């Protein structure tokens, strides 16, 4: 069945017109899905098996896939012109060159995803079409996708809420003596039961690993005093989530409670501060400033990121990014403090930028208090 078209077609057409490109070519899984509706899982598991969309300024979009993926692509995509290559018999780049030539674009200016396409494939493309002016077209896709449609917002809201719920329910059932791996698995199990089709990542960092960024969960039993930090990204069909929550095993120490409270305050003040026109770097600085007032040094390198099909998307909330927030951006706000010997502190919520301010979408359970596992 053809998938529902949630892409922002008007914004995309406007951006393409403004870019001066004669066409853009999508190569990454997020951009191919966004512009075609075909979700090709092997774009991630087998990166050399390219799938692409060719999107000319004049219209007449084409979807290019490996023959193995053709029947699914024809079922899912709203693009009717689907071309396939036989893997190993033909290079996907030679098919792309054929399609660009056929469309009269061989002398044109073409935007390609240079941040995604490998140097080897890019070299092959430039060699195949020496007269074509290939340029980086990544930012066109990034910008269009950063403003979500109503349909997208609803899907990410549901994905975020279900993920938060899985985390909280797993925390509620957790017990002293359960292993890190068991608790991590309990979260994944609840995610699946709440409808997740995949887990993109799931970090459970406990005790002396809580201040590592993304350590593996261990067969070690949870003990009183352990801080547990969980950061999970699940996919509900195609639409993902990115939520982080914390817990402590047994009664928290005064220090754990205090830093958690301060940390949460930083996150909440940043959310209150977010609205259209505020720059990404200003949100970062707002966190630095609140941390400083509370006596904590903010480590960076960022305090959050735009969220969508690509996971980390624009705007990155980092100190050098002057991009302004705009209505219908979705942001994962996640200041993080890693204090070696004390703990890693992280809360991550999904936030929608509205006309008058930011709204938290992950509201299944309050995070006021550090969750206690008994």
Task: Examine residue 120 and tell whether it contacts a copy of itself (CB under 8 A).
Answer: yes
Task: Examine residue 316 and tell whether it contacts a copy of itself (CB under 8 A).
Answer: yes
Q: What residues between 230 and 249 interact with a copy of itself by CB under 8 A?
A: 233, 237
H or E stretch at 66? strand 62-66
DSSP state of 338: E
Q: Per CB under 8 A, which region of 41-49, 55-63, 159-167, 168-176 contacts a copy of itself?
A: 41-49
Task: Examine residue 348 and tell whether it contacts a copy of itself (CB under 8 A).
Answer: no
Query: Cα-flanking dihedrals φ and ψ of residue 159, to 5°?
Result: -65, -45
Residue 27 CA: distances (Å) to CA of 208, 312, 353: 40, 17, 28
Q: What is the torsional sign of CA 131, 134, 135, 140?
A: positive
Task: Examine residue 302 and tell whether it contacts a copy of itself (CB under 8 A).
Answer: yes
Query: What minimum distance in Å lies between the beta carbon of 185 and a copy of itself?
Result: 5
How far apart CA 352 and CA 332 sit, in angstroms, is: 9
Among 17, 18, 46, 173, binds a copy of itself (CB under 8 A): 46
# chain residues binding a copy of itself, by CB under 8 A: 68
Give whichever of 280 and 371 is closer to a copy of itself, judged by the CB atom.
Answer: 280
Q: Per CB under 8 A, which region of 17-25, 191-199, 244-252, 351-359 contacts a copy of itself?
A: 191-199
Task: Examine residue 102 and tell whether it contacts a copy of itself (CB under 8 A).
Answer: no
DSSP state of 25: E
Give whichever of 27 and 266 is closer to a copy of itself, judged by the CB atom.
Answer: 27
Query: Cα-flanking dihedrals φ and ψ of residue 184, to 5°?
Result: -60, -45
How far apart CA 296 and CA 290 sit, in angstroms, is: 9
Residue 17, classified by CB atoms within 10 Å of its CB into exposed (0-12), middle (13-18) or buried (19+), is exposed
Cβ of 65: how many Cβ atoms within 10 Å?
29
Question: Residues 277, 324: contact at Cβ < 8 Å?
Answer: yes
Among 151, 225, 319, 354, binds a copy of itself (CB under 8 A): 319
Give whichever of 184 and 371 is closer to a copy of itself, judged by the CB atom.
Answer: 184
How far apart CA 181 and CA 221 sit, in angstroms, is: 9
Q: Per CB under 8 A, which region of 52-60, 111-119, 262-270, 288-296 contacts a copy of itself?
A: 111-119
Q: Per CB under 8 A, which region of 5-13, 213-221, 257-265, 345-353 contacts a copy of itself?
A: 213-221
Query: What minimum distance in Å lies between the beta carbon of 345 and a copy of itself?
Result: 14
Task: Examine residue 40 and tell whether it contacts a copy of itself (CB under 8 A).
Answer: yes
Task: Examine residue 94 and tell whether it contacts a copy of itself (CB under 8 A).
Answer: no
How far apart CA 303 and CA 80 sit, in angstroms, is: 41
Give whichever of 44 and 326 is closer to a copy of itself, judged by the CB atom.
Answer: 44
**For strand 82-85 and strand 62-66, is the pairing parallel, antiparallel, or unpaired?**
parallel
Closest CA to 249 of 228, 234, 233: 228
Q: What residues between 47 and 66 interact with a copy of itself by CB under 8 A?
A: 47-48, 66
Judged by the rule CB under 8 A, the positions of this chain that interact with a copy of itself are 39-42, 44-48, 66-72, 75, 86-89, 112, 114-123, 136, 138, 181, 185, 188-189, 192-193, 197-203, 211-217, 233, 237, 300-302, 311-312, 316, 318-321, 338, 340
């Amino acid at each position: 069945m053809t998938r529902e078209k949630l892409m922002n077609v008007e914004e995309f057409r406007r951006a393409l017109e403004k870019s001066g490109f004669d066409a853009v070519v999508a190569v990454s899984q997020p951009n191919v899905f966004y512009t075609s509706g075909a979700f090709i899982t092997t774009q991630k598991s087998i990166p050399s098996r390219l799938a692409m969309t060719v999107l000319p300024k004049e219209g007449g979009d084409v979807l290019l896939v490996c023959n193995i993926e053709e029947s699914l692509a024809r079922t899912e995509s709203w693009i009717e012109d689907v071309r396939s290559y036989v893997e190993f018999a033909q290079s996907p780049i030679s098919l792309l060159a054929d399609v660009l030539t056929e469309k009269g674009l061989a002398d044109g200016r073409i935007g390609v995803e240079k941040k995604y396409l490998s140097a080897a494939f890019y070299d092959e493309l430039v060699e195949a079409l020496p007269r074509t002016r290939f340029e980086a077209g990544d930012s066109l896709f990034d910008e269009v996708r950063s403003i979500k449609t109503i349909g997208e917002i609803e899907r990410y809201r549901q994905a975020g809420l279900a993920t938060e719920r899985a985390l909280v329910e797993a925390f509620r059932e957790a017990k002293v003596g359960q292993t890190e791996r068991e608790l991590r698995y309990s979260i994944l199990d609840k995610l699946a039961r709440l409808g997740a089709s995949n887990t993109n990542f799931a970090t459970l960092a406990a005790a002396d690993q809580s201040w590592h960024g993304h350590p593996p969960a261990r067969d070690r039993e949870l003990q009183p005093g352990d801080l547990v930090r969980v950061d999970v990204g699940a996919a509900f069909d195609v639409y993902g989530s990115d939520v982080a929550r914390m817990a402590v095993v047994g009664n928290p120490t005064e220090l754990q409670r205090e830093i958690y409270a301060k940390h949460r305050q930083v996150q909440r003040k940043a959310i209150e501060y977010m609205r259209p026109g505020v720059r990404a770097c200003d949100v970062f600085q707002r966190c630095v400033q609140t941390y400083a007032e509370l006596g904590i040094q903010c480590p960076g390198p960022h305090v959050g990121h735009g969220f969508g099909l690509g996971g980390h998307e624009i705007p990155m909330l980092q100190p050098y990014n002057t991009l302004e927030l705009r209505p219908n951006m979705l942001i994962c706000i996640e200041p993080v403090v890693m204090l070696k010997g004390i703990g890693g502190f992280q809360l991550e919520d999904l936030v929608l930028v509205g006309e008058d301010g930011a709204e938290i979408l992950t509201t299944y359970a309050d995070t006021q208090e550090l969750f206690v596992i008994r």
